[in-house]
Amino acid sequence: MAREPLEPNLWNIRKLYENKLFEIPVYQRPYSWDADNVSILLEDILNSFKEKETVKSYYTGNVIIRENDTKTDGNIKAYDIIDGQQRTTTFTLILLALHSLFSKICINQNDPLIFDVKRLLWQHSLTRYPEKEFPSLKLNSIEKEAFSELYDYAFDTPQTLYSFAENYTCKSDYEKRVIENFKLIYDTLSKTVCEDENKLLDYASYVIENINFINIECTDNVNKVFSIFESINSKGKPLEEIDKIKCFIFSELDEKSYKSCLKQWGDLIIQTKDNLYDYLMIYIRAYIKYYRSNITLLYFKSIASNEMKKHFEKTTLNETFKALLEDMSKKVKYYNMLSDIELLKQLYNNHKLRMYFRLFSGNYNHPKPLFFRTFIEFANNKISGDNFVDIFATITNFMIESLTFLNKDSKDVITMFTRIFDDIYENGINTATIKYYVAKESAKSNITKDFLKYSIANYDAYSHKKISVPLLALYEAYDENSGNLSYDQADVLTSKFSDSFSLDHLLVQTPEPEDINYKYYCKKTDGNEILVLKDGSDFPEQIQDGMSYEDFQAQVLNKFGNVRIYYRDKNSSRQNNAIELKEYGNFTDYSDIVKREQKIVDFFIEKILTIPIINQSDEPKKSRKSPTKLPKIDELIDAGIISIGDKLYITLYPDDSIATLVSPTKVDYKGKTMSTNQWGQTVTGWKTIQIYKFACVLGETETLAEKRKLLINEN
């Protein structure tokens, strides 16, 4: 009799584990349960165990499995875990902890229950005895090695398994999760069920016999597994966007391509350290379409059927997705360069590039698609090293000027990158074109020397070290006499900052009240720290006696003029004797800060953060495209111009028309959900209405119709 595609069964842990080898497929995401997840599970099990006379079982969710083609001896069947891998991994760690505790607490090691736990953890082929080479669960992602070593050690030396875990050197946060969760389980069980041997055995018996799963064995063709997985999960906790996209991709692939494509997907998870969603977004923006917002499944389906097919010159989604995975696999090392300076050095070891990388890395996300594509263009000899560095410096400078010092809205930045990529998709990377768009956006954003000088002078450099340290390193590496800037020295200062150097205040942070060299000190009053000014202080008018000392630090002591990179101690000074840091004598007055600050700001403006000038000859020629349809609300949302949740109003009735946008086509108006047109008709009483012409975002006067035209003009 043929089996049904889905066969649900209520299985306890004994039934789930016995005579089966489970494998978490490589395409599944890594083990992600944290201490809170594990603690809640252990507490629930313990409470159920305490009430076992009345609570006969504890239900813990679904496990979806599918028999794979692994060949084993004897009666063992091998399965992939399609869903439920987090719970299954955690229960395996619980069984390992029980196995270890048995070896320490139980006198009779021949107790049948102890033997049962071992047979659940390790299967047997031709004998009834557990065999080390048949662990019941194998992981295949980033944490694979730690889990496997913990498992193997438990077979040979269970009595010292906790000590092994304590001394294990984890290579990633994912391995740390496995090891720390095992230790947490072991510690918790030691405190709660190890009062005596009988209680531990009773608890183990309860876990094996009374913890139940709904086990669903999928016997359908593999190309339907992902749609089944998505359907089941849509009824419970929402899947993450990358999992939805994965289900869609694999539901479209032909079955003969599954094995290789699943391997590629799993390898991408490992190589991106579980940042595959981020990589996918960067890849799509770099090569296919610059989506302004995060890429949802809905957007992905749309782009796959249109722009992605055209990009890869394919006619079916099957062929398109195979090409996508193939190309992403080839280019993943360039994605990793966005966060790893050592990988970038392998591509191009240039001191100036490395300094700008340090200014960009960890501070800005918007340039990542452009830098990712620039890495690849350089690797393929499509741009020179000078142009490579020029693009990186130009974009990073703009980000520092607009988003950090002038605190501009990121929407303006996204508009600039959209224009840049529209040109790149058609013509490839052109340094002059990129600089043209940056110069144009700088002018539009009113980035002027005077405005920038004012913003830098008032920046709290000490509190924002990711930006200030590389910039100060560049200043320290500048020789005023020769006019030479040593990017090499600046790179050393930045790379060794935490170990050998630190940010040092010239006017000290908290001088002693009796110190005659300083005209200020900090006084604690009723638990608050306030500023006390002495006679003769030269601070500006806004610095007043009795003000918050924290505000005084931000406005005076933490400014660029008062902080420097300096040796952590005498040892670090001797170790870095090739670097001569500037000395500034004794800073005692505010005027000392002002003088040094002026030099630093002038250096930044003239030598580093130069403001680009528009060169009209570099303006890209616009392609002749067919007339563009006016974008709808969903496209305005995609462009970041409006958002779900925005308040809208009708211009004719601004006070009595406020509604909340709940979807691209619907609003909530006075507690009722209706279409945008119905909302306009309800407010105005008209039979028809051109809603774009009369609707505005609350707080703005620009209508949606005007926003539509703006978006077309931008593109």
Q: Could you tell me how far CA 12 lies from the centroid of its own chain?
A: 37
- pLDDT for the residue 1: 41
d(Cα 515, Cα 608) in Å, to the nearest integer? 38
- pLDDT for the residue 176: 94
pLDDT value at 713 more than 60: no
- pLDDT for the residue 98: 95
How does pLDDT run across 3-54, given as a tens digit for each residue?
555 567 889 999 999 888 999 887 777 888 999 999 999 999 999 998 877 7
Q: Exposure pattern of 436-474 as b/e (b: 16+ CB <10 Å)?
A: bbbbbbbeebebeeeebbebbbebebbeeeebbbbbbbb
Confidence tier at 334 by pLDDT (50, 70, 90) = very high
Instruction: Report whether 592 contacts 507 (CB < 8 A).
Output: yes
Model confidence, pTM: 0.74
Instruction: Report whether 139 contacts 175 (CB < 8 A).
Output: no
How does pLDDT run across 610-656, given as a tens digit for each residue?
888 888 777 877 654 444 567 788 888 877 778 888 899 998 888 89
How does pLDDT run across 360-406, given as a tens digit for each residue?
988 899 999 999 999 999 999 999 999 999 999 999 999 999 999 98
Amino acid at 391: I
Q: 320 or 171: which carries more pLDDT confidence?
A: 320
pLDDT value at 239 more than 70: no
pLDDT value at 274 more than 80: yes
Mean pLDDT of the residues in the chain: 87
d(Cα 254, Cα 383) in Å, to the nearest integer? 38
Identify how many contiguous H helices and E strands the chain contains and give both numbers: 32, 17
Q: Is 74 left (phi over 0), alpha (psi -120 to 50) or beta?
A: left
State the pairing for strand pair 20-23/137-138.
Answer: parallel
The residues near 467 (Cβ < 8 Å, ≥ 6 apart) are: 359, 363, 400, 404, 461
- pLDDT for the residue 6: 59
pLDDT value at 571 more than 70: no
pLDDT value at 234 more than 50: no
pLDDT value at 238 more than 60: no
**Angle, CA 307 vertex, CA 303 and CA 309 arms, to 5°:** 100
- pLDDT for the residue 579: 63
Pick from 520, 524, 541, 550: which is nearest to 532 by CA?
520
Q: 242 or 619: which carries more pLDDT confidence?
A: 242
How does pLDDT run across 650-687, given as a tens digit for each residue?
988 888 999 999 988 899 999 999 999 999 999 999 88
Mean pLDDT, residues 86-104: 94
Question: What are the structure tokens assigned to 420, written together?
Answer: 């840049």
Helices 173-192, 35-50: axis angle to 10 degrees equals 20
Q: Return the H-helix or E-strand segment holding 116.
A: helix 112-121
Residue with structure tokens 């992403």?
328
Which residues are bridge partners to 67 per DSSP? 79
Confidence tier at 473 by pLDDT (50, 70, 90) = very high
How does pLDDT run across 47-84, given as a tens digit for each residue?
999 887 776 788 888 888 888 876 666 667 888 888 88
Q: 713 or 569: which carries more pLDDT confidence?
A: 569
**Angle, CA 633 vertex, CA 627 and CA 635 arms, to 5°:** 60
Pick from 387, 395, 314: which is nearest to 360 by CA?
395
d(Cα 361, Cα 313) in Å, to the nearest integer? 34
- pLDDT for the residue 567: 83
Which residues are bridge partners to 211 per DSSP? 58
- pLDDT for the residue 205: 93
d(Cα 494, Cα 502) in Å, to the nearest integer? 10
Q: Exposure pattern of 320-345 as b/e (b: 16+ CB <10 Å)?
A: bbbbbbeebbebbbbbebbbeeeebe
pLDDT value at 279 more than 80: yes
